[in-house]
Structure 1
Amino acid sequence: MLTGHMGKNMANYLILAASSAIGQATTERLRSQGHRVLTTARTADKITPDYMIDVSDFDAVEHVFAEAGPLDGAVNCSGSLLLRSAHLTSRAQFDAVISASLTTAFASVRAAGKHMTGGGSLVLISSAAALEGLANHEAIAAAKAGVIGLMLSSAATYAPMNLRINAVAPGLVQSPLTAQLTGSEAARKVSESMHALGRLGKPQDVAAAIAFLLDPENDWITGQTLGVDGGLARVRPKTRV
């Protein structure tokens, strides 16, 4: 079991695409617990990252893992949102969605497999859309389902070196990325009604699940997809009248 490289209760973590709402919430949570957290982002518009990289760049991601030194855990928070049926989706749009979610996840697994040789935890971000058929989610569902497949295979590959690989699958989380879905009261109510618990998620909800999977106390968990979705993917709520 890892205890961290800074002391008994401290760990070294790397958050890729930390400028996302979930990335920022995760960074804040881990740092508040006293952990050392390194971050990446493409620009310094939202945060001041330790490394400014495109997480779909395999060489750049590997360089960050090498520079970061021994890590207890890493999280890839990269993603995008495209709500468009397949016949209205261009090749460029599809490629962008795949790059943001699946390519970045693969780059993270690849680098972790090379550099986290002492074991630890890698967390990837999937989506409830990969587990439940949602209209007009074809591209994002394909990318996020790919993340789950990648997670399962890599969890098997790297288990012998005690590198645990898991995923979280959020429902609709309130963030700048999803503002188009929650901008009007009517749209918001429709989205809320799809979640059995009757509310949308917060970045902090997902950050709590990520922190759980990173925690070395939970080091008998690998190859799992943890739904953090208010019941969206698995529970059909009673109709409210």
Structure 2
Amino acid sequence: MSENGAGNESPVYVVLGAYGGIGSEVSRRLSGKGARLVLGGRDGEKLDSLADETDGVPVALDARKGDEVQAAFERAKEEFGRVDGAVNCVGSFILKPAHLTSDEELQETLDLNLKTAFNTVRAAAKTMDAGGSVVLMSSVAARVGLANHEAVAAAKAAVTGLALSAAASYLPRGLRFNVVAPGLIQTNLTERVTSSEASRQASTELHPLGRLGEPEDIAPAIEYLLSRENGWISGQVIGVDGGLSSLRPMPRRAVRG
């Protein structure tokens, strides 16, 4: 089955975690290209504000609850007749070693990162009967051993495994599943790290490109994977991480020429 058999008609996307740092940037970019959006998140006021800005349809939901995610996808079909793509930007960030991480913190990390991703995959599989693209969010911490990241690394690595399996399962139905794996992105979620000058400097030095990421660095990759023009890409993990996952540059003082 070919992806998105709607010709040149504007695509329809479901954005979960829509008003967060990355989610809101993605929503603005997609809206600016003419996409029609259903925006999901827990804070109704923030959703309404973003919906006004992007002409999207706000749906208040808890993405940890599968029936509420399913309802958002069904709302998109009711409003626009189909769903062409979805991105789950819901997540959390915890910086603790395993022995200091409580059962409650571990469960919350798994729920916000893995369970919301699973709910997105399941709803897409039930709803996107004309094919399309789903983008999930992993992390550089799932690809590189970073100290004190055990909980989030475990959850994000599981998201990658989920996406790869779904890409194989639903390939015959024209559904694509890909993953974006960011480095440290400056959002409200990571403020506990970036607000401390010492921690911020240490984190910056980890990234070979010499700076922390911004939502504007991540949104184009998500938009690229969602686009029907890039329909030959599935089962991929795209690192947008300032080179952290793959580069080991020489010290700057050692570079000549």
| TM-score, normalisation: structure 1 | 0.96
- 2:84–2:131 Cα contact (<8 Å) kept: yes
Task: Choose from 189, 201, 206 the match for 1:189.
Answer: 201
Partner of 2:63: 55
Q: Distance in 2 between matches of 1:169 and 1:193?
A: 19
2:226 maps to 1:218 = no
**Offset from partner CA, 1:128-186 (integer Å, 9 cap, x none):** 00000000000000000000000000000000001000010000001111111111332
1:84 aligns with 2:92: no
Cα separation, 2, equivalents of 1:187 and 1:45: 32
- State the match for 1:68 in structure 2: 76
Question: Which 4+ runs in 1 deviate beyond 4 A?
Answer: 1-5
- In structure 2, distance between residues paired with 1:149 and 1:23: 22
Hey, what does 2:170 align to over in structure 1?
158
Percent identity, aligned pairs only, is 49
Q: 2: CA distance between counterparts of 1:183 and 1:236?
A: 26
Determine which of 127, 136, 139 is the counterpart of 1:124.
Answer: 136
1:20 aligns with 20
**In 1, Cα distance between the equivalents of 2:234 and 2:23?**
21
Contact 1:4 1:11 in 2 (8 A): no
Other-structure match for 1:96: 108
Tell whether the 8 Å contact from 1:195 to 1:237 is kept in structure 2 after alignment. Answer: no
Unaligned 5+ residue runs, structure 2? Answer: 52-57
- 1:11 — aligned with what? 11
Structure 1, unpaired ranges of 5+: none
CA–CA separation in structure 1 for the residues paired with 2:165 and 2:98: 27
Residues 33/119 of structure 1: CA separation in 2 closer, same or farther (3 Å cut):
same
Residues 120 and 79 (structure 1), Cα distance of their counterparts in 2 relative to 1, 3 Å cut: same
Aligned length: 240
> CA offset at residue 203 of structure 1?
0.4
Q: CA RMSD in A?
A: 1.4
**What SS does the corresponding residue of 1:47 show, helix, strand or coil?**
helix
Q: Distance in 1 between matches of 2:4 and 2:112?
A: 32
TM-score (norm 2): 0.90
Query: Does the CA-based 8 Å contact 1:4-1:12 persist in structure 2?
Result: no
Which amino acid letter does the alignment assign opposite residue 188 of structure 1?
Answer: R
Query: What does residue 150 of structure 2 align with?
Result: 138
SS at match of 1:34: coil
Show the counterpart of 2:39.
Answer: 39
Indicate the residue corresponding to 1:109 in structure 2.
121
* Match in the other structure for 2:218: 206
Q: Deviations over 1:9-50 (max 9, x none)?
A: 521111011121110000000001111111011112533261
Alpha-carbon separation, structure 2, partners of 1:215 and 1:4: 13
* Match for residue 188 of structure 2 among 161, 166, 176: 176
